[in-house]
Amino acid sequence: MFRKVLIANRGEIAVRIARALREMEIASVAVYSDVDRASLHVRRCDEAVHIGAAPSRESYLHIERILEAARRTGAEAIHPGYGFLSENADFAAACEAASIVFIGPPSDAIRKMGSKTAARRIAAAAGTPIVPGAEEGLRDAGEAARVARECGYPVMLKAVAGGGGKGMRRVDTPGDLAMAFETASSEAAGAFGDAAVYIEKLIEQPRHIEIQIIGDQHGNMLHLGERECSIQRRHQKVLEECPSALMTHMPELRERMGQAAISAARAAGYYNAGTVEFLVDARGAFYFLEMNTRLQVEHPVTELVTGVDLVRWQIEIAAGGRLPLRQEQVRWNGAAIECRVYAEDPEQGFFPSPGRITHLTEPAGPGVRLDSGVYSGWHVPLEYDPMLAKLAVWAETRNAAAQRAIWALGEYHVGGIETNLRLFPGILRDPAFREGRLHTGFLDEYMARRLAPVITEEAAAVAAQAALAGAAPPAPAIGETRRESGWRRSGRESLLR
């Protein structure tokens, strides 16, 4: 086993990895930029190396400085976390060249899966279903009709050069295709100077479901089931679950998707942890989307339900270890839900809200897991992703997990900056959510239909009283008239220490 590992990341995931290393009695090395000296990940490691200025390209994305930090501290391996260099094949290759173990897949597999079109080709060759269609431009309406027939209606016409909806047309029946093809082509020509359009099968109200796979360097690979990630905003996941409610209706789907994910990963020569993302329609038909060749943000829900410590397994596999379980030994118990806590204001278009955390109360208790990268008094820098923490809960059933998440969110208080914490209880109480009727458009629909919280007269009166209490001049420094006022004074004193 390694004696020392460098963590090429920051925030909650660096803390997560540092904890795993402590648990394994492996020395941990943090790296930090100018604005991260006081960050939690530095405090939770055994060593720390300053690697540059705040902008990521001068620090967390700077391959040479990170390798130099590893060499200087004698780290034998590097865990890249997620984001930053984690899916950078050049970095993985540079580690390999420097004889430092990259805790992840081989650089070659990252490269193969890094190109979306190459990944699609590999997956298709391995027999994993992909969204049917032609990625190249269609010559004419006749070719379009042929491809559409192969895909099955409804289909989408999309501009090859496009984006942002221009040149896109939904076509539900063969009779509408020719007209739609002409319109889409001319729209594309107008918008992008290129009339080329292609066809893709339209997956209506798809779920975004991903499969966690993990393989060792000895040819063993297994899947740890799915994560339901359909609740997204602008392709950014907001709330994830394991299991997906879909699997309760289709118990055989997990294994089919799991095997499809393993096939795709094997075809790329993959090992270590990885995630294969699928679009899934209401009937359980699934289509390969892409592969994330790293640890996923939402890995805790899989850990809570399977009992597997994915980060520990990653490290053990990188050190040459074998998978300790066979596929048939993997068990899924209960239900887990994760909420991503961001420094952003849901009432102001999710505008980022960096700044100083003046007060922090974190939830805990039965079934509550908090992976946090912040602490009270710390300044959330504006240079990086504004994710503060991940609140994950586990319970025996999905409904109990949702209820648990609601009280845990109620105990969570981040003062001084805005967060999206108050977004979640409404989602978790939403009838469509409870019924498991999820798709990638869920959150937009929910945001449009959600109701403002009810404010009772009594709550308003309490707010008024609290405002007066907060606005009152400080209690005198000496002398208590009653216990409560004494508390207030002493509380203030204690915070001055």
Q: Looking at 74, 127, 142, 307, which residue binds a second copy (CB under 8 A)?
A: 307
Q: How far is the C-alpha of 341 from the C-alpha of 22, rounded, in Å?
A: 25
Q: What is the DSSP letter of 329?
A: G
Binding string, residues 456-475; x marks residues near other proteins by CB under 8 A: --xxxxxxxxxxxxxx----
Q: Which residues contact 29 (CB under 8 A, 6 or more apart)?
A: 4, 5, 6, 7, 45, 46, 47, 48, 49, 69, 70, 73, 75
Q: C-alpha distances in angstroms, 87 versus 5, 110, 235, 296? A: 18, 6, 18, 11
372 binds a second copy (CB under 8 A): yes
Q: Which of residues 41-60 bind other proteins (CB under 8 A)?
A: 42-43, 45-49
Q: Does 422 bind a second copy (CB under 8 A)?
A: no
Considering only 413, 434, 441, 476, the residue that binds other proteins (CB under 8 A) is 413
Map residues 324-343 to x or -, x wherever contact with a second copy holds by CB under 8 A.
-------x-xx---------
Site for other proteins in 349-388 (CB under 8 A): 349-355, 358-359, 361, 375-378, 382-386
The H or E element containing residue 226 is strand 221-233
Is the distance from CB of 38 to CB of 400 less than 8 angstroms?
no
Q: Pick between residue 217 and residue 403 the one whose CB is nearest to a second copy.
A: 403
Q: State in angstroms the smallest separation of the CB of 495 from other proteins.
A: 6
Say if CB 130 and CB 198 are below 8 A apart. Answer: no
Whose Cβ is closer to a second copy: residue 77's or residue 357's? 357
Residue 471 sits in the site that holds a second copy (CB under 8 A) = no
Residue 105: phi and psi, rounded to 5, are -75, 170
Which of a second copy, other proteins, none interacts with 49 (beta carbon under 5 to 8 A by kind)? Answer: other proteins
d(CA 109, CA 96): 13
Asked if 411 is part of the footprint of a second copy (rule: CB under 8 A), the reply reads: yes
Identify whether 149 is a catalytic site residue: no
Comparison of 452 and 496: residue with beta carbon closer to a second copy = 496
Strand order in the sheet with 169-171: 169-171, 155-159, 197-201
Sign of the dihedral through C-alpha 82, 84, 86, 88:
positive
DSSP string, 254-303: HHHHHHHHHHHHHHTT--EEEEEEEEE-TTS-EEEEEEE-S--TTHHHHH
User: Which span sits near other proteins by CB under 8 A: 178-186, 309-317, 328-336, 414-422?
Assistant: 414-422
Q: How far is the CB of 3 from other proteins (least distance, A)?
A: 15
Q: Which is nearer to other proteins, 173 or 456 (CB)?
A: 456
* Residues whose CB is less than 8 angstroms from the CB of residue 395 and which lie 6 or more positions away in sequence, other chains included: 334, 335, 367, 401, 403, 404
179 binds, among other proteins, a second copy, none (CB under 5 to 8 A by kind): none
Q: Quick check: 358 binds a second copy (CB under 8 A)?
A: yes
d(CA 325, CA 214): 11
Residues 6+ apart with CB under 8 A from 243: 225, 226, 228, 254, 305, 332, 335, 398
Residue among 10, 65, 111, 294 flagged as catalytic? 294
Alpha-carbon distance of 376 to 25, in angstroms, equals: 28
Calculate the CA dihedral of residues 184, 185, 188, 190 and round it to 10 degrees.
-110
Indicate the residue among 93 and 370 with the shorter CB distance to a second copy: 370
Does position 458 bind a second copy by CB under 8 A? no
The entry of other proteins, a second copy, none near residue 242 (CB within 5 to 8 angstroms by kind) is: none
Amino acid at 398: R
Q: Which stretch binds other proteins (CB under 8 A): 3-11, 39-47, 97-105, 158-166?
A: 39-47
Query: What is the three-class DSSP state of 328?
Result: helix
Pick the closer one to other proteins by CB: 46 or 281.
46
Task: Check: CB of residue 291 under 8 Å from CB of residue 89.
Answer: no
Task: Give the span between the Cα atoms of 188 and 444, in whole angstroms.
Answer: 26
Residues identified as active-site: 294
- Under the rule (CB under 8 A), what is the footprint of other proteins? 30, 37-38, 42-43, 45-49, 73, 345, 347-355, 358-359, 361, 375-378, 382-386, 410, 413, 415-416, 418, 422, 425, 452-455, 458-471, 484, 487-488, 491, 495-497
Binding site for a second copy (CB under 8 A): 15-16, 19-20, 22-25, 34-35, 37-38, 44, 300, 303, 307-309, 311-312, 331, 333-334, 356-359, 361-362, 364-372, 375, 377, 379, 395-396, 400, 403-404, 406-407, 410-411, 415-416, 483-484, 487, 490-491, 494-497
